[in-house]
Each structure stands twice: as C-alpha cells, then as structure tokens.
Structure 1
Amino acid sequence: MDFLRPTTLAEALEAKAATPEAVPIAGGTDVMVELNFDLRRPDALLDLGGVTELAEWDLDDDMVRLGAGVPYNRIITELGAKLPGLAMASRTVGSPQIRNRGTVGGNLGAASPAGDAHPPLLACAAEIEVASTRGTRRIPTSQFFVGPKKSVLEPDELIVATRIPVASGPQQFAKVGTRNAMVIAVCSFGLALNAGKRSVGTGIGSAGPTPLRAPEAEAFAETEIDGLWDTREPLPDSMMRRFGELVGEAANPIDDVRGTAAYRRHALSVLARRTLAWAWADYRTGSWST
C-alpha cells in the first residue's frame, strides 16, 4: 500500500489526479476502522493531515467556509453560536477522542446515510466545495448524495470545504440511539428556522438510502408560521403534530438490526415535532441569538 503525504492543497490535488484510487484520510475515524477489520485494502492512502489549508475556517458574507479538516471539537468550541445545529450534532459524534479527530469533510466523504453532520447541513442548505486540478465546484448538500456511501465526487476530486450560512434563527438537532453519543443513529433530524427568509429547513438521517430533506413538511410549516413570525404567538399543537407526520412520511427507511422502518418513521415524527417546539420557543424568547 502506497502512502501519499502532501503538505499543501495543490500537492494533494496533484496526488489525487495522479492516483485517483487513493483513499483520502484525515482523522481516520472511518477509514482506519475499515482497515483494521480488513474491510478495505486500497492501493494507496492520501494523508490530508498535513494540509493546513483544510484545517481552517473563515467568514465570507455571513457564510462560514468550514475547511474539510476542521475537527468536530473546534466546531463545538469555536462555531457554536454561528452554526448551532451543526454544533449540536457534533456533540453527539463518538467520544471526545473521536471529536478531536473526526471531521465534517470525512463524514461527507464517507457519505453514510447515518452521518450525524448531514441533517444540519441539509437543513441550512449548505454547499459542498470540491476541487481537483481541473478546478473547483460547489454542490448543494441535497444533490451531493446519490446512494448508500456514494456521492457525486469524481475520482480525482477532494472535498475541501463546506459553505454554511450563519444561523439567522434557531436550529436544532436530535437523534435516536441506544445512547446519546458513541452510537450510530437509528434515525436523526435537523431543523433550521431562518427568520430573515421566513423559511424552515429540514434534514433526515439514517432513514433512507441517503440523507434527505422533507420538502412537503417545510412548505407546510412555512405556510402555517407565515403570520406568526412577527407576533411570535405559540404554534398550535395540531400544526406541530402534522409537521411531524409529514417528516415521517418523507423518510424512506428499512428494517435492520437497529430498528424497523415503522419505528423510524414514528421516531422521526416525534423528533420533528419536538425540535420545532424547541426552536420556536427559542425564537419567541430570543434566546437563540444569545
């Protein structure tokens, strides 16, 4: 097995172009598990740990450009106020050691339907920035996943960053599992209220062949909430319950060892209803902005 270790992004892109079969590795929290259990034996590994450009984040017109190598722990400590939904999801990833190594870029690269970072990225309409020696392109998160552990990445491309809007309203994330962290989600849900655009974003994880949104639930919530953004009146229970039902209907789960399809749909309905209630309570009190 060849081990490629570039020190700059340009070198990394050149290495990937020359050896498209090389498997990128940063934190190694997914790749090393597969190697240790002999589930994967690539011809080459492309170590991105020394590429400092990938381990940085910056602000660009109310948009966070999150480098693919920024670990979850830094998202929690440095970006909790700007990206609250992603920070919530990051807190449920693995153990402290995993959060110090694992990255959103790696989560996206694995393209698992159960990836914890995916629902909040979908909910806030983030874009994935990928690059090769041919150039750079941005892909909406909703178009990035094409199947279980499959994405639209070309063989010579690397994920270099995720562009995420700074929160302009409350965000929430919740998941069901045997415990809160260090567990693959039975199902998960991300929610983002955009007070400026008066929109509602959703993201569903571990309940379909890919992470997905619930567009009918979003449209329903936006219609029902439309007259309440200014008055900040409580949301009717019937409205929140219907929102949950629509989220459950948007899922496309299977039966497996972690749960049945029926249970996942029910659990998502509950998660959606609860997260909407929590987010709206934060919006009414203004606590989300502090």
Structure 2
Amino acid sequence: MSGLSVSPDQASTAVVITPHRLDEALRARAAQPDAAPIQGGTDLMVEMNFGRRDPAALLDLTRVPELTRWRREGPLLRLGAGVTFAQLERSPFLDMVPALAQAARTVGSPQIRNRGTIGGNVATCSPAGDSWPPLIAGLAEIEVASVRGHRSIPAAEFALGPKRSALAADELVVGVSLPVATGAQTFMKVGPRNAMVISVTSLALVIDTHRAEVRAAYGSAGPVVGLVRLPLSEAHLLPDAIAEACAPIDDVRGTAEYRRHALRVLSTRAAERCLT
C-alpha cells in the first residue's frame, strides 16, 4: 500500500497501521478487520488504559486528510468523520446546525473537544453520546465505506444497542451528512454538574419548517437514542409523547423515574426556547 506505514506501539503490544489516504485506510480495514480504528482516541484509549480492550492492532486515521474535511452542498452539510467537537462548537456550525454545535460545546473538557471527533462519537454507539440526539433529530445519515463501496445509513438505524452498530466488519465511518437548519434548534442535557459529565439524560429539539413538524431525540433513556416526531400544531403534546416513548433504566447516574421526569422538563423548556 503506497504511503502506508506499520509500526509497533511503544506503550503496548499493538501494531499501529498508519494510512495516508482513505483508499489505503479501507484496504487496511479489509485486510485486518480486527484492528481498532483510532483518531481522537478519547474513548478507545480509556478502555485500553483500564484493560477493557487490548486490540492486536490500531488503525491510525489521523493522517487521512479526507476524513478531516467538511463542506456545504446546498441544503446539506457534510462532515468528515475526523471533524472535531472543538470545530463544531464554533461558527459557521452554530448557524448551520445549532443543536449539534450546542451539543459539541458540552462534550468533556476543551482538551477532549480538541481531540474527540464526530466519527468516533458516532461509531462508539453510546446512548449517552452527546452528538446522537442532534443527529437523529436532524435526520442525519451516517456515511460508511469499505473496499466494496460507500453507503449511507439513517442515523436512527445505525445504532443497534450500546456499542453495537450496523457497521460491517470491513467498514469505516467516513462522514455524517445532515440538513442545514430550517428553523430553531436546541440541545440540553442533565448531569450531576455543568461540565465534563456523562449525561443522565439529554434532548435535542428541531423545528423543521419544510416538513411542518417538530422532532425531539432523547439520549440516556433507552438502549439507543429515541425519536419523537409531531406536527407543529401538536408541539404542546411533546413532553407527554417523550415520557411515554422513552425506556429509561435505574443506574448509578439516576433512576428511571428521574430520567422520565427530567425529559418532561427538558422537552418543555426546549419547546419554549424554540417556539416562542
């Protein structure tokens, strides 16, 4: 593979495969599907440091320029998987995809946002992932690729459960596409403090003037992020609809009862913010 380098990781027994182009990365993925993709490393390195994962190889995507690019194509915004949360929390994304930009601002610390990427957050498939509610409420599609070709998967169909996805063994997440906002959007989350926390529950609300509907996606209240869609004329029903649709559990971060109550409060506040 032209430009591909392979070296041992000095801190572990893993071999590090370093492609320099997307086609090289896809061939490496096909040749060694058990290699763990890494770009920001904010999730993977925690698991490795705690001994939860010990991959035989790492597929280092930090030198693949195609993954770090973004572009607007008319009504659609296309984000490469390597776009960081530090980028997303600023202009021009604040105007194009407000809920996603607001969610990006809540991800970890500035250091984590400088490293963490939209592709990594998506691929981890955590129902507490901060990017997931804005992506699902925004009707995003996850772009994946392999040596067999490219395909797009609706965000609502990508995550099959905690840390389980529709990604095939030889595929990589290469980008995310979502419509540019046509109405007000917002993101909110509840945690034990204001920053650097995993959400107890979270919610993104999108007003879609083209479809004349309101969509709300909620996290940490089921095995995957849920979505509720209502006509704009029925937006006042949103808190009850979300409380009925969600399936929260009791865990160390909060009870199911508290999460359901919190989602009622968040959805009421989000609707007030976006509709008044």
- TM-score, length-scaled by structure 1: 0.88
Say which of 196, 208, 212 aligns to 1:194: 208
Q: Cα deviations across residues 67-95 of structure 1 (Å, max 9, x unaligned)?
A: 00000111112311101000000000000
Q: Cα deviations across residues 216-248 of structure 1 (Å, max 9, x unaligned)?
A: xx22x53436xxxxxxxxxxxxx2xx3212111
| Residue 240 of structure 2 corresponds to residue 276 of structure 1 | no
1-structure distance, mates of 2:89, 2:223 = 28
Say which of 60, 69, 94 aligns to 1:47: 60
Say which of 220, 224, 233 aligns to 2:234: 224
1-structure distance, mates of 2:130, 2:25 = 26
1:66-215 matched pairs, under 5 angstroms = 66-78=79-91, 79-214=93-228
Q: Cα deviations across residues 96-124 of structure 1 (Å, max 9, x unaligned)?
A: 01111101100011101100000000111
2-structure distance, mates of 1:261, 1:150 = 22
Judging by fraction of residues, say which structure has more strand.
2
1-structure distance, mates of 2:194, 2:145 = 34
Q: Which runs of 4+ in 1 moved over 3 A?
A: none
**Structure 2 counterpart SS, 1:80:** helix
Judging by fraction of residues, say which structure has more helix.
1
Residue type at the aligned position of 2:35 = A
Residue type at the aligned position of 2:134 = P
| Corresponding residue for residue 266 of structure 1 | 261
- TM-score, length-scaled by structure 2: 0.93
2-structure distance, mates of 1:80, 1:56 = 17
1-structure distance, mates of 2:252, 2:90 = 34
Cα shift at 1:183: 0.3
Gaps of 5+ in 2: 1-13
Cα shift at 1:149: 0.9
The question of whether the paired residues in 2 share the 8 Å contact of 1:125 and 1:201 is answered with no
1-structure distance, mates of 2:118, 2:40 = 10
Q: Cα deviations across residues 180-227 of structure 1 (Å, max 9, x unaligned)?
A: 22100000000100122212121110110111212xxx22x53436xx
Q: Cα deviations across residues 116-137 of structure 1 (Å, max 9, x unaligned)?
A: 0000001110000000000000
CA-atom RMSD in angstroms:
1.0
Cα shift at 1:179: 1.5
Q: How many residue pairs were aligned?
A: 262
**Structure 2 counterpart SS, 1:50:** coil
The question of whether the paired residues in 2 share the 8 Å contact of 1:187 and 1:264 is answered with yes
